[in-house]
Every structure is written in C-alpha cells, then in structure tokens.
Structure 1
Amino acid sequence: MGENDDKLNLVIPKDCNNAPRKQIVLDFILAVLMGQTASIQSYTSDSIQWHQINQNKVVNGQDELIKWVLNEKKHVIGLEIYQVITHGKLASVNGAITLSKGDYIEFCYVLTFSNAAKSAKIIDVKSYEI
C-alpha cells in the first residue's frame, strides 16, 4: 500500500467479505487514499469521471485522476468503513477517514461500473465529503 501501511488503522465491517464486488470497492478506495497508481489504473476505465460534489469539480479520465490522487494525497492514518453496498453495476461505500493532522472526514462514494461483471471497470464516481 505505501510507506505508512503499518500505521493505518483500518476498521471494516465483517460482512464485507461475502461479495467479490465489495472487496474490489474496498481495494479501490484504499488505492486512492494511499496513492497506489497501478491499482487505481487496474480498477478504472480510461474515461472515468470522478465528480467531487462538495468542490463542484469533475476529474475526467484516468490520467487526470492519477494526477489528482498524487497531488491531493492525504496522510491517512485511519479508515473506518461503515457500509459497502453493491448491486449490479452500482456500489457505494461510506465511512470516515482520519488524517495525521487530526482532521476527520466523513465520506460517501457512489461508484458505477461499466457492467455487472466482476471484471468490470469503474466508469464514474460521485464523492461526498464533510
């Protein structure tokens, strides 16, 4: 994951291991938070769009997403996942991120995959953070 993996406090609900898509969602979120560009590329389509609702911003395409992730990378020390919900080509995850500076961010990410297959790529993300 990165240089701070041993310091990341990760709390995940026990039911997150009963559906393959849930693990993909969790792995993708961790890749974004930890700046793991190869993993991000493996989970996303080239034309992904990430809508950052609070900032009224859209990141277009995989290259722009990678740049954004690397530029905005936060020093995450904690991640608590409240729920991961998947159905067909849709998924959502909500929880809280704790940063090393003590900041606490509640979030919800709504993901759309290209289709319902386990190998489908993420084509759209809408993120809400407070």
Structure 2
Amino acid sequence: MTKITVSTDCGNAPKKEFLKEINIAFAKGNSDFLTESVTDKIVWNIIGDKKIDGKEKFTQELEKMNTKKASELTLDRILTHGKEGAVSGIMKMKNGKKYAFSDFYEFSGAKGAKVKSITSYVIGI
C-alpha cells in the first residue's frame, strides 16, 4: 500500500484534483488511469533523461516503470491556471530511494480534459 500525503493548500478544484489523481496513479503504477488521462500525441519530457512522444511510447514507458512502485507520495503543491498546471513533491520508493520532483502539465483545453504534455524534473535526495 502506498502512503499518500497531500498538503492542505492543494485545494479541491477539479483540475487540481485531476493532477492529484494523476500523481497518485504514477505512485501506485496505475497505467490504465494514466493512459486514459493523456492525449494520443502526449509528449513527456523527463529533463536530463529522455523525451517520450505519443501514447504508445508513453504506455511502454509506464510498463517499464511499473516495477518501481512508491511506498510514499507527498504532494506539496498543486497549481493550475488555464491550460497549465504544476505539481511538486517527494516520492519514496519501496527500495528506500527518495526523489524530489516538479512536473509541469499542459492540458488539451482550458477545461483540463486530458494531458497534452508533461515536463518532469526529478532529483534523488
């Protein structure tokens, strides 16, 4: 089971809730939810590591990551404005490693229906 902690200032606006659920899905390895939450032309740029283009490659990357599930997820900030959003926090993996992250999201529209792009900054701590 993954322990989830969300800062009280993250609020409950629909797009903030959506980003919270996306991050929980990453922590728990819920590939189905993540795949359904992105556009067919998703671009995921993991700064300093790789750039993933398209839903098929996104899904393949999620499958690789599924072996590395988190034991804890702490979401410090969730921000949204118009077609953009950002999330920062700390993820502790089952092997004991900890990572601080900031993810920047672009939605397919102002209503936040699906994620069009993700830019991720991740550092080991």
Give the CA deviation at 1:61: 0.9
> Secondary structure of 2:48's match?
helix
Alignment of 1:20-35 (within 5 A): 20-35=14-29
| TM-score, normalization by structure 1 | 0.88
Which of 91, 99, 105 is residue 105 of structure 1 equivalent to?
Answer: 99
**Residue 86 (str. 1) matches residue 86 (str. 2):** no
Query: Structure 1: which amino acid aligns with 2:95?
Result: K
- Runs of 5+ consecutive residues of structure 2 not aligned to the other structure: none
Give the Cα–Cα distance (whole angstroms) in 2 for the partners of residues 33 and 46 of structure 1: 22
Aligned residue number for residue 61 of structure 1? 54
- Runs of 5+ consecutive residues of structure 1 not aligned to the other structure: 1-6
Calculate percent identity across the aligned residue pairs. 26
- Larger CA deviation: 33-42 vs 109-118: 33-42
Give the Cα–Cα distance (whole angstroms) in 2 for the partners of residues 41 and 75 of structure 1: 17
Aligned residue number for residue 14 of structure 1? 8
Deviations 1:48-67 (A, max 9, x none): 00001021x11111111111
Query: Structure 2: which amino acid aligns with 1:58?
Result: K
Q: Which of structure 1's runs of 4+ aligned residues deviate more than 6 A? A: none
Query: Structure 2: which amino acid aligns with 1:11?
Result: T
**Residue 95 (str. 1) matches residue 84 (str. 2):** no
Give the Cα–Cα distance (whole angstroms) in 2 for the partners of residues 105 and 41 of structure 1: 23
Give the Cα–Cα distance (whole angstroms) in 1 for the partners of residues 93 and 104 of structure 2: 22
Q: How many residues align?
A: 122
Give the CA deviation at 1:14: 1.8
